[in-house]
Amino acid sequence: MSESHQARVRAQFGASAPDYVASAGRGALRVLDVATGGGHAALAFSAFTPTVVSTDLTPSMLEAARDFVQGKAASNVRFVASDVEALPFRDTSYGVVTCRLAAHHFPALLPALKEITRVLRPGGSLLVEDILGHDDRELAAFILEVEKRRDPSHVRALTHREWEAFLKAAGMTVIDEGTLSKARPWEEWTARMRMTPEAKADLERFVLDAPGSCREAFRFTIEDGRIQTFSDRLILIRADRD
C-alpha cells in the first residue's frame, strides 16, 4: 500500500475511532458464553473482545471456570450463574453468543434458543458447537444409550434438520455450518464422568454386545476385547438473529 493511501486511511479513520467503535451497535462487542463449563470458549473470546460474560447453571462449574480463566490472566470475563432459559440480561445486549458442547444437556432446545435470540442484537451471531445427532434411528438410539449411561445429564443430540428448524423457529437464520469428527479415547472419556467400575463395565458390555453396524458407525476400536476409542461427529453452526 502506498504511503499516500495509508495517510488517507489514517486521516479518514483516525479522528473518528471512538465513534466507529460505538457505531458497531448496541451490544456488538459483548460476547456471552452460555453453559460455559470450564470456560474454554470464554477464554478464547476474551483475547479479542473487550467484554465476555460466562454463564452456567452449575455454581461449582462457574467457580472452576473463574479459577481457570483468571489463572490465564484474562481479566475481562465476568461470571454469572444462570439457566440458559432465563438469562438475566437485557434484550439485544450481546453481539455474539457462544454455546459449546452444551446444547445436548438442555431439556428443550427451543426455549433456550428463544432466550439466546432475545439477548442478541439484530444481526448478532450465535456460534454453536455440539454433538451431532443421527438420522438413523438404530444408530441414534445406540449412541444415546452410551452417552446417557456415561452421563445421565445428557438429554439428546439433535440432527442437522432439527437444528435448522429450531433456529428458524427462534428467529435466527443459519449463515454457515459444518461438521467434524472427534476421536474419543475411551478410558479418558469415561473417567471424566467418574463412572463407578460397575457402571463402566456394564457400559462396555453394552457396546461389545451391540450390533457390529453400531460399533462400525462410530468407529469403535477394540483390542483384546477392550474398547480403545470411538468417534462422534460435531456440528458447528453460525446463525444470525433476524
Ligand X SMILES: C[S@@+](CC[C@H](N)C(=O)[O-])C[C@H]1O[C@@H](n2cnc3c(N)ncnc32)[C@H](O)[C@@H]1O
Binding site for ligand X (CB under 6 A): 35-38, 40-41, 56-58, 61, 83-84, 100-102, 105-106
Measured CA to CA, the distance from residue 23 to residue 229 in angstroms comes to 49
Beta carbon nearer to ligand X, 100 or 241: 100
Minimum CB distance to ligand X, residue 102 (Å):
4
Separation CA 81–CA 59 (nearest Å): 6
Residue 17 is placed in which grid cell?
Answer: 475511532
Residue nearest to ligand X (CB): 37
Element (H, E) at 111: helix 109-119
Cβ 69 to ligand X shortest distance, Å: 12
Q: Which of 80, 134, 133, 146 is nearest to 104 (CA)?
A: 133
CB closer to ligand X out of 40 and 118: 40
Q: List the grid coordinates of 175.
A: 449463515
Nearer Cβ to ligand X, position 38 or 171?
A: 38
Q: Measured from the CB of residue 15, what is the shortest distance to ligand X in angstroms?
A: 41
Closest to ligand X by CB, 106 or 220: 106
162-167 long-range Cβ contacts below 8 angstroms, 24+ apart: 162/109, 162/133, 163/128, 163/235, 163/237, 166/109, 166/110, 166/113, 167/113, 167/126, 167/237, 167/239
- Please give the torsion angle defined by the CA atoms of residues 157, 159, 164 and 167, in that order, rounded to the nearest 10 degrees: -10
* Cβ 203 to ligand X shortest distance, Å: 18
Q: In whole angstroms, how close is the CB of 72 to ligand X at the nearest point?
A: 15
Q: What is the smallest separation between the CB atom of 137 and ligand X, expressed in angstroms?
A: 25
Q: Which is nearer to ligand X, 34 or 214 (CB)?
A: 34
Report the alpha-carbon angle 92-35-189, nearest 5: 150
C-beta closer to ligand X: residue 37 or 95: 37
